[in-house]
């Protein structure tokens, strides 16, 4: 794959992640408003919340893995947060001793 095609694929990946994270955030905000109203309607709200959290974690991971970041560095704290959110409740575990930002 040529460099131009690789850059185009990364830009498309970034755009898709950007376009998906906004509605996911809106759903999460709606759930917070429902919970603040004092009348959450049972297990359905919990299931929606878990699904939104999972989708958000995946999009954050995909944005870094497949998106175009240019010369942007991602710090160890942010990477740890993304991996924890993505794999923290599943059967997989990630062990990575990271001390410096990653490009």
Does 103 map to a domain?
Answer: no
The answer to whether the CB of 97 falls within 8 A of the CB of 83 is: no
Does 102 map to a domain?
Answer: no
The answer to whether the CB of 17 falls within 8 A of the CB of 67 is: yes
Does 100 map to a domain?
Answer: no
The one-digit pLDDT tens for each residue of the chain (103 residues) are 576 777 888 888 888 888 888 899 999 998 888 888 877 677 888 888 889 998 999 998 888 888 766 667 788 888 888 888 888 877 887 787 777 776 6
Does 17 map to a domain?
Answer: yes
Domain count, the chain: 1
**Which residue range forms the structural domain that includes residue 30?**
3-87
> What SS3 state is found at 18?
helix
Q: How far apart are the first and last CA of the chain?
A: 21
User: pTM, whole model, 2 decimals?
Assistant: 0.74
């Amino acid at each position: 794959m040529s460099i131009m095609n690789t850059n185009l694929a990364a830009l498309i990946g970034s755009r898709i992640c950007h376009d998906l994270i906004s509605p996911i955030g809106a759903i999460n905000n709606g759930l917070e408003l429902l919970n603040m109203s004092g009348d959450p309607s049972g297990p359905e709200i919990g299931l929606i919340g878990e699904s939104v959290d999972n989708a958000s974690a995946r999009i954050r991971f995909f944005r870094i893995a497949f998106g175009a970041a240019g010369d942007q560095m991602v710090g160890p704290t942010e990477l740890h947060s993304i991996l924890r959110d993505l794999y923290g409740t599943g059967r997989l575990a990630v062990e990575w001793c990271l001390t410096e930002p990653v490009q």
